[in-house]
């Protein structure tokens, strides 16, 4: 018996179309994802170890059934996931032809199993997101690994569309709409995968585009149900002390900024571990991403009501909270309610999309708040910004340039076995914490952000760019990655890594 471990080892060969239906029936009848088989056009019967071990007689029957259409010449064994992928791709191609001729059918069980396979593949390489782009006859699949988008291959658009439809229509926790690829929709999905993954929560976002539609799946492993400590996330001792001091405040507004996928929600959950058990914490979320048993998490549904968060914020203020959290400030109504709560004796924490800590203020002004509102004393307890930078693989990194006091390193384009040939392995966090004092109120009121930045620099404040430069000089991240991810970081003359703080007044 021939052992085949990789799909590429099969060569350019197709599934025998006359035997596709019997192979699908064989897979579905056992209700076991590890029992699967397929007959290839070159006469090979490829089956999983579980199929050969438990259902040898039935496999012989498949070989006998193929004698007149595609005689089986060789028995082969391969991984169940690989065979399922071959089977689903062939089924998708067949279904595409059936749709063109007006005849189609729906394989829900196989679609559900395919979603589990794709998610398992993503988790195996520590991906945080799965990106599906449907265009033409293909579905382009990419994984977000260590902050980088990595193409994984193309599958049948017809079948992957059925996978998405089956997930949203039958496995979603909060999606009530019938699947329509022309509409924008979002949903939460819970999957139970084989060990070592267990239960996985997925946040799905779907939207149409010019030549099809896209789906982004944010993955959250069950391990994230255990809220991490700030030190375990990579924050330094000084930063942990600053964040601990913020969470001990009784009033004010704490805001964490950063792009999507850079750990804002995880950081806020870790900060909650610093809150003593004697304080009541209520968190308003859409969706609930990290389960935190010690706090009251309330799901605020994504409804047509534009002010759902602001209205719910008013409700929870009557429930005697010490700390109120909002998953994200997205609009003027929510921002106004958060400011009002912070000015009426509550500590409020939330996340927001902004360039950096100081950029939170221009972002709030852009939403619709006024400089007078934001400059009120004791309103802003703390402004935080963070980024996750790809960590260079220490086994294959290459010297980019030499400096008098060391060297600047870059990614190895070919990588090595330690980093799965990506050149990076994991990510490292950098952050900046800004605690506005009385002087900050004047700068905010006058919208003098350049002056505020100069004032902070004179007092030794470390920005995101300063933190990134330190990591570049330590050889932990590449200069190119730092410049792509970190705001206000540029290269000075002679190719030496340096930091330049941009004039915020130019961008407002």
Judge whether 316 and 298 are in contact, CB under 8 Å: yes
- Distance CA(86)–CA(446), nearest Å, equals 63
Phi-psi region of 212 (alpha: psi -120 to 50; beta: other; left: phi over 0): left
pLDDT at 305 over 90: no
Residue 309 is classified by DSSP as H
Return the closest-CA partner of residue 502 out of 436, 439, 454: 454
Judge whether 399 and 407 are in contact, CB under 8 Å: yes
Q: What pLDDT, on a 0 to 100 scale, did the predictor assign at position 302?
A: 61
- Listed in sequence order, the residues at least 6 apart from 259 whose beta carbon sits closer than 8 Å to its beta carbon are 353, 387
Q: Are residues 369 and 246 in the same domain?
A: yes
- Listed in sequence order, the residues at least 6 apart from 111 whose beta carbon sits closer than 8 Å to its beta carbon are 159, 162, 163, 165, 166, 167
Q: Are strands 281-285 and 323-326 parallel, antiparallel or unpaired?
A: parallel
Report the percent of the chain where pLDDT is more than 90: 54
Q: Are residues 153 and 82 in the same domain?
A: no
Q: Is residue 421 part of a domain?
A: no
Q: In which residue are the tokens 């991490």 written?
A: 228
Mean pLDDT of 34-48: 93
Q: What pLDDT, on a 0 to 100 scale, did the predictor assign at position 303?
A: 59
- Distance CA(140)–CA(269), nearest Å, equals 33
Sign for the pseudo-dihedral over CA of 180, 182, 185, 189: positive
Q: Are residues 275 and 158 in the same domain?
A: no
Name the token pair of 276. Answer: 């003593």
Q: In the chain, helix, strand, coil percent, each to 5?
A: 40, 25, 35
Tally the domains of the chain. 3
59-68, 219-228, 321-330, 494-503, range with the lowest pLDDT = 494-503
Name the token pair of 30. Answer: 């056992």
Q: Are residues 210 and 253 in the same domain?
A: no
Q: Are residues 351 and 235 in the same domain?
A: yes
Q: Are residues 212 and 244 in the same domain?
A: no
pLDDT at 492 over 60: no
Q: Which residue has the higher pLDDT, 343 or 186?
A: 343
315-329, 385-399, 420-434, 485-499, range with the lowest pLDDT = 485-499
- Domain end: 208, 223, 238, which one? 223
Q: In which residue are the tokens 């033409």 written?
A: 136
Q: Are residues 286 and 260 in the same domain?
A: yes
Judge whether 200 and 119 are in contact, CB under 8 Å: yes
- Distance CA(397)–CA(391), nearest Å, equals 10
Q: Are residues 454 and 372 in the same domain?
A: yes
What are the tens digits of pLDDT across the range 449-491?
Answer: 999 999 998 999 999 999 999 999 899 999 989 998 998 786 4
Cβ count within 10 A of residue 181: 16
Q: Are residues 238 and 355 in the same domain?
A: yes
- Compute CA distances 168 → 131, 219, 291, whole Å: 16, 15, 22
Q: Is residue 209 part of a domain?
A: yes
Name the token pair of 443. Answer: 């700068």
- Domain end: 223, 250, 279, which one? 223
Reported confidence tier of residue 506, pLDDT bands at 50, 70, 90: very low
Q: What pLDDT, on a 0 to 100 scale, did the predictor assign at position 315?
A: 92
Reported confidence tier of residue 279, pLDDT bands at 50, 70, 90: very high
Return the closest-CA partner of residue 53 out of 30, 28, 19, 23: 30
Q: Helical H runs in 140-274?
A: 157-170, 230-233, 237-247, 264-272
Q: Is residue 481 part of a domain?
A: no
Q: Are residues 205 and 95 in the same domain?
A: no
Cα end-to-end distance, the chain, whole Å: 69
Q: Is residue 291 part of a domain?
A: yes
Q: Which residue has the higher pLDDT, 106 or 506?
A: 106
- Listed in sequence order, the residues at least 6 apart from 340 whose beta carbon sits closer than 8 Å to its beta carbon are none
Q: Is residue 486 part of a domain?
A: no
- Listed in sequence order, the residues at least 6 apart from 456 whose beta carbon sits closer than 8 Å to its beta carbon are 434
Name the token pair of 97. Answer: 């032809």
pLDDT at 314 over 50: yes
Q: Are residues 178 and 271 in the same domain?
A: no
CATH number at residue 158: 3.30.450.90
The continuous run of DSSP H or E covering 218 comes out as strand 212-221
Q: Output the 3-class SS for 50-87.
A: HHHHHCHHHHHHHHHHCCCCCCCCEEEECCHHHHHHHH
CATH number at residue 363: 3.40.50.300
Q: What pLDDT, on a 0 to 100 scale, did the predictor assign at position 99?
A: 54
Judge whether 350 and 342 are in contact, CB under 8 Å: no
pLDDT at 503 over 60: no
Q: How many CA atoms lie within 13 A of 352 on its CB side?
A: 31
Q: What pLDDT, on a 0 to 100 scale, did the predictor assign at position 223?
A: 47
Mean pLDDT of 299-310: 73
Q: Are residues 297 and 318 in the same domain?
A: yes
Q: In which residue are the tokens 């958060």 written?
A: 338
20-30 helix and 56-65 helix, angle to the nearest 10 degrees? 160
Q: Are strands 281-285 and 296-299 parallel, antiparallel or unpaired?
A: parallel
Number of residues assigned to the chain: 508
Q: Is residue 56 part of a domain?
A: yes
Give the max Cα distance, the chain: 87
In terms of residue numbers, what domain contains 372?
A: 225-392+432-462
Phi-psi region of 25 (alpha: psi -120 to 50; beta: other; left: phi over 0): alpha
Sign for the pseudo-dihedral over CA of 268, 273, 276, 278: positive
- Distance CA(66)–CA(445), nearest Å, equals 80
Averaged pLDDT score across all residues of the chain: 86
pLDDT at 107 over 60: no
pLDDT at 335 over 90: yes
Q: In which residue are the tokens 């976002």 written?
A: 205
Q: What pLDDT, on a 0 to 100 scale, did the predictor assign at position 508?
A: 34
Q: What pLDDT, on a 0 to 100 scale, did the predictor assign at position 491?
A: 42
- Domain end: 223, 245, 280, which one? 223
Q: Is residue 476 part of a domain?
A: no
Q: Is residue 488 part of a domain?
A: no
pTM: 0.73
Q: Which residue has the higher pLDDT, 108 or 233?
A: 233
Q: What pLDDT, on a 0 to 100 scale, did the predictor assign at position 504?
A: 32
pLDDT at 104 over 50: no
pLDDT at 351 over 60: yes
């Amino acid at each position: 018996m021939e052992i085949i471990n990789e799909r590429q080892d099969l060569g350019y060969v197709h599934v025998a179309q006359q035997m596709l239906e019997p192979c699908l029936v064989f897979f579905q009848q056992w209700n076991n994802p590890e029992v699967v088989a397929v007959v290839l056009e070159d006469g090979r019967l490829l089956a999983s170890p579980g199929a050969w071990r438990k259902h040898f007689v039935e496999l012989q029957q498949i070989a006998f059934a193929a004698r007149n259409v595609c005689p089986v010449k060789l028995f082969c064994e391969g991984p169940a996931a690989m065979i399922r992928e071959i089977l689903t791709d062939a089924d998708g191609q067949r279904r595409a032809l059936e749709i063109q001729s007006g005849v189609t059918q729906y394989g829900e069980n196989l679609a559900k199993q395919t979603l589990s396979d794709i998610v398992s593949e993503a988790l195996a390489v520590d991906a945080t997101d799965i990106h599906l782009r449907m265009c033409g006859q293909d579905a382009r699949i990419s994984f977000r690994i260590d902050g980088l988008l990595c193409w994984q291959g193309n599958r049948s658009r017809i079948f992957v569309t059925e996978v998405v439809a089956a997930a949203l229509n039958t496995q979603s926790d909060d999606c009530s709409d019938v699947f329509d690829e022309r509409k924008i929709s979002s949903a939460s999905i819970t999957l139970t995968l084989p060990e070592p993954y267990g239960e996985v929560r997925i946040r799905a976002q779907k939207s149409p585009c010019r030549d099809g539609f896209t789906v982004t799946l944010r993955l959250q492993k069950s391990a994230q149900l255990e809220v991490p400590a700030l030190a375990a996330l990579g924050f330094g001792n000084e930063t942990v002390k600053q964040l601990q001091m913020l969470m001990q405040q009784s009033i004010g507004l704490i805001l964490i900024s950063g792009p999507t996928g850079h750990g804002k929600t995880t950081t806020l959950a870790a900060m909650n571990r610093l809150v003593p058990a004697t304080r009541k914490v209520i968190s308003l979320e859409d969706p609930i991403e990290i389960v935190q048993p010690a706090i009251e998490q309330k799901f605020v549904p994504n409804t047509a009501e534009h002010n759902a968060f602001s209205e719910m914020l008013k409700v929870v203020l009557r429930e005697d909270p010490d700390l109120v959290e909002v998953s994200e400030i997205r609009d003027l109504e929510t921002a106004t309610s958060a400011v009002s709560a912070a000015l009426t004796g509550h500590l409020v924490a939330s996340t927001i999309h902004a360039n950096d800590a100081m950029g939170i203020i221009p972002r709030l002004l852009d939403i619709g708040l006024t400089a007078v509102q934001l400059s009120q004393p004791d309103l802003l307890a703390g402004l935080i910004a963070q980024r996750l930078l790809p960590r260079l693989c220490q086994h294959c990194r290459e010297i980019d340039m030499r400096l008098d006091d060391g060297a600047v390193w870059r990614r190895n384009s070919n990588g090595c076995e330690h980093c799965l040939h990506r050149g990076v392995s994991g990510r490292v966090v950098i952050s900046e914490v800004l605690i506005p004092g009385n002087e900050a109120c004047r700068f905010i009121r006058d919208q003098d952000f350049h002056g505020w930045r100069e004032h902070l620099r004179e007092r030794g404040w470390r920005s995101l760019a300063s933190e990134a430069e330190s990591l570049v000089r330590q050889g932990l991240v590449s200069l190119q990655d730092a410049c792509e991810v970190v705001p206000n970081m540029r290269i000075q003359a002679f190719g030496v890594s340096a930091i330049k703080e941009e004039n915020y007044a130019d961008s407002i």
